[in-house]
Structure 1
């Protein structure tokens, strides 16, 4: 006689099966079994199935949700979260509307996931209205998300409004607004929020330092890091140290960057592939290419970013042929090269022994690796051609580009024209460049020098008149120098430093020694 087994909600068999489920196919098999034995009618089981499937296949999860006769707020929250992690984010907002039409009210977990599904400013404002309606404006996490999302849609004034209306301006909300201000180019506003914070932690310092680095304010980033260390504000987190290393590499702050490396070693900090790549980039930019090679060789795992950083580091330190050899080694036993790798390889080709390589590299990019040529690749090629005096080829390539050439490309071409005294091409390049960058003082200076050296006084007068009309001020040149672990920024004929007189006296002495 066949034995009938009656499964009840207390039977944990299928729950254990769900916990052990490792593939989506297994999940579908378990779902089929629950339907066969009649467990699909139990909300607890279907909710579990829904939660697991929403991670793997949102369409399948939607099918399960449609089969639930009385879905709960938990089910809707699960699905909205699932949609927020897919390309169908807008479906989360539509699902929320369906939920409200069915009379189900949102709870504390609804809005944090719902905000993430907003794929446009209009949708975000509608959700914000629901947040206000149901009294969730006091939720710090919700406030922080609203600030972040408004900032990402360039609605920084709305982000500020949310912040000002918040009753709790804690470190989380302040940090979100700081990040938003930086992403919208409002450096002073970000600094103001940071300075007015009642308390600061490593996350808020990290947001400031990262913001400075992304806006190329490298010295400010380093100074704030040193201030943080002196104040004893916790331990610098991973993101913060990566940002500081990038800043140190950009300005050549060798001692500070090396101290961070030593700190990582002393504290047994996990130097993963990201840190390894950052250290390679740092040492290469500071000219210690041997140290960069040591780190690269010691890395147990190297991803495409690490290989690309090492190739670029070798190329920018005059080791062009070694860089090209490393690329060939990467092709044999490394990861598949990407677009960034090929930028590094093209930079490496900027050497008289490798000038014939770039065209074959471009062919290999598209035919072998299916890598699409970007404006950066074209920029490298045009720079190579212009530097080597192949100006006609460079001009032809500019005309054949599928995208509009930017200021960097016309700048490279103009520099090549000036270097090789191709006066007939300078006018065209200069005109295009000034159309793209009408307030870039450096472009005017280059053209002015060319006009002056060739005695073209009429052209020089016209150029100076154009600068006056456009109110272009010549920005003073500046650089950095690291002295005893302190990074100092200085300008041409700088008199602001407290030891300016002594510095200029030493410079005059050095000039005399060099002349003799």
Structure 2
């Protein structure tokens, strides 16, 4: 073109700004050519694309220079330009620059003065949304919520940013509470993004009833269940214990991609359905969808939980040699877990030693956990020593080593580890379990008596203990790794958090109603054997999701086949 106009320049710059990092740099270079030619002046549509390009390749300094030109050409008050400039500062981590720009353009949201211009109000909402997203990205969740509360007008994007911000930063209950608030206020209706944002929080707390309500809301209100929302629903049902419903959602999806397949295969793996995992993996490849590294993590995890050592090794080698995927640290973690659980501790330690990438704390924790399982003090001590150097303030290594010493009767070793924990002010995470009854999530800690129905719960615990004794159950006091008398050990086992949650479930639901519980730690062997008997004595299906996997207790047996 002999004389390209501003529209032509903007079109080319915008096209490059929406590509890769190298393309984004080209967008900036084309903008520089526009400025150096001096024939055509940039307009309000030029700068948003240039700023977007700077965001793509994290060009903070270049963005600041463009900011100067924005002011020079008189677009400092243009809301679209300002929102892109604000997004640039946020994505590049310059929250101070973002904050200055934000307050300059928006002012004090809590002021008595109301902005009467509707267009200006909408512009403020856009800038607030970008700022909330920025606070979430740098994990200033309280600052994000404060800004959210100050907003006089909120769009669905505002709610989505805050809900997903809570969920991404581990505030799952707060994400669900905010979702409830959104529904109660009724000013804004949730969309696909809202539902996909709250579902991970629902998944983590195992709130199946709420998850089912979200699914029903989507269907009744015509919310399209695409691959993103579909994979979130599959993940939710799987993590809330209803793998059958997860399969139903999967089968009803019109289009599937690798994310959907990964959600389905990962869900099956979590439930210990290794045979189904391998079947779905085969179907995935036949459908023409190429597996990703995440797919193989799920498959190797399934092999680990099922004790399929040879199959797991074969799949790992196939991933590297045939598919050509480079193993990530998570793949090696699965392999260490696979070998360790099966008792191949020397081989697992050798794999860690020969890994081409530096092992992290998760790898060593997998080995240490296997050493505790098989009571191998020598390798366990070596793993713990490395862990303490990698993560000196993580309680996991200290607790696992202490338990390993205790299981072998080395109480001097236990005392030494606990003294180290005391000196470093390291505390063990308490056991915690959740159960959802009539849409309300109830939380229980070990020896918890804070619940309003504590007396009824303790009475039920006594009834459970008596009934289990009648059928020959003897508490496994070896699971209490403390130097105390057996009577005290039995009392501690009696009040483990998952047992309290089950007791509460039994007194709060009708006979034969399934009970679903989520626990933050691995279930102990005594609780595991107790749950099998409770499921038979009370004719209840009990589903427990612990830190590692699902256990489906029914008629005196568990889906894990006692291998976990």
What TM-score, normalized by structure 1, do the two folds share?
0.81
Q: Give the superposition deviation at 1:189.
A: 1.2
Conserved 8 A contact 2:192-2:224: no
Q: Give the superposition deviation at 1:361.
A: 0.3
Conserved 8 A contact 1:382-1:413: yes
Q: Which runs of 5+ in 1 are unaligned?
A: 1-45, 47-67
User: How many angstroms apart in 1 are the aligned matches of 2:365 and 2:453?
Assistant: 34
Does residue 343 of the first structure (1) align with residue 297 of the second (2)?
yes
Larger RCO, structures 1/2 (Cα 8 Å, 6+ apart): 2
Change (3 A) 1:137 1:491: farther
Conserved 8 A contact 2:191-2:223: no
Find the counterpart in structure 2 of residue 117 from structure 1: 53
Q: Give the superposition deviation at 1:444.
A: 2.4
Aligned length: 445
Does residue 487 of the first structure (1) align with residue 437 of the second (2)?
no
Find the counterpart in structure 2 of residue 387 from structure 1: 341
Change (3 A) 1:138 1:458: farther
Change (3 A) 1:102 1:336: closer
The structure whose Rg is larger is: 1
User: How many angstroms apart in 2 are the aligned matches of 1:290 and 1:167?
Assistant: 49
User: How many angstroms apart in 2 are the aligned matches of 1:222 and 1:457?
Assistant: 44
Conserved 8 A contact 1:219-1:489: no
Does residue 96 of the first structure (1) align with residue 31 of the second (2)?
yes
Find the counterpart in structure 2 of residue 510 from structure 1: 460
Q: 1:234 aligns with which of 188, 195, 215?
A: 188
Q: Give the superposition deviation at 1:351.
A: 4.4
Q: Residues 94-134 of structure 1: CA distance to partner in whole angstroms, max 9, x if unpaired?
A: 33333223334321111111101212222122222222333
Q: Give the superposition deviation at 1:172.
A: 0.9
Q: Give the superposition deviation at 1:215.
A: 1.3
Change (3 A) 1:155 1:461: farther
User: How many angstroms apart in 2 are the aligned matches of 1:358 and 1:297?
Assistant: 27
Find the counterpart in structure 1 of residue 279 from structure 2: 325
Conserved 8 A contact 2:27-2:53: yes
Find the counterpart in structure 2 of residue 266 from structure 1: 220
Q: Give the superposition deviation at 1:510.
A: 2.4
Change (3 A) 1:180 1:421: same
Find the counterpart in structure 1 of residue 6 from structure 2: 73
Please, what is the CA RMSD of the aligned residues? 2.2
Does residue 289 of the first structure (1) align with residue 224 of the second (2)?
no
Change (3 A) 1:127 1:478: farther
Secondary structure at the residue paired with 1:487?
A: strand
Find the counterpart in structure 2 of residue 151 from structure 1: 90
User: How many angstroms apart in 2 are the aligned matches of 1:502 and 1:439?
Assistant: 35
> Which consecutive segments of 4 or more residues in structure 1 shift more than 6 A?
none
Q: Residues 132-160 of structure 1: CA distance to partner in whole angstroms, max 9, x if unpaired?
A: 33332222222222222222222222222
User: How many angstroms apart in 2 are the aligned matches of 1:227 and 1:253?
Assistant: 17
Find the counterpart in structure 2 of residue 142 from structure 1: 81
Q: Give the superposition deviation at 1:411.
A: 1.0
Stretch moving more, 163-172 or 468-477: 468-477
